[in-house]
Amino acid sequence: MDLWKCDVCGYVCEAIQAPAVCIKCGVGSEHFQKLNEVQSQLLYDSERTNDQHIKIIALAAELIEAAKIGIEENLDPGCKKVFEIVIKDAWEIKQLAKAELAGHQKKGKF
Give the interface with Fe ion as residue ranges (CB under 5 A). Answer: 6, 8-9, 11, 22, 24-25
Measured from the CB atom, is 26 or 103 closer to Fe ion? 26
Q: Kindly state the smallest distance separating residue 54's Cβ from Fe ion, in Å.
A: 21
Which residues, other chains included, contact 109 with Cβ-Cβ below 8 Å and sequence gap of 6+?
42, 43, 45, 46, 49, 50
> Whose Cβ is closer to Fe ion: residue 5's or residue 94's?
5
Q: Least separation, in Å, of the C-beta of 107 and Fe ion?
A: 20
Residue number, 20 or 48, with CB nearest to Fe ion: 20
Shortest Å distance, C-beta 34 to Fe ion: 15
Nearest-approach distance from CB 85 to Fe ion, in angstroms = 41
Question: Nearer Cβ to Fe ion, position 39 or 49?
Answer: 39
The C-alpha atoms of residue 44 and residue 92 are separated, in whole angstroms, by 27
Contacts of 37 (CB under 8 A, 6+ apart): none
Q: C-alpha angle with apex 12: 11 to 15, nearest 5 degrees?
A: 135
Q: In whole angstroms, what is the distance from residue 104 CA to residue 96 CA?
A: 12
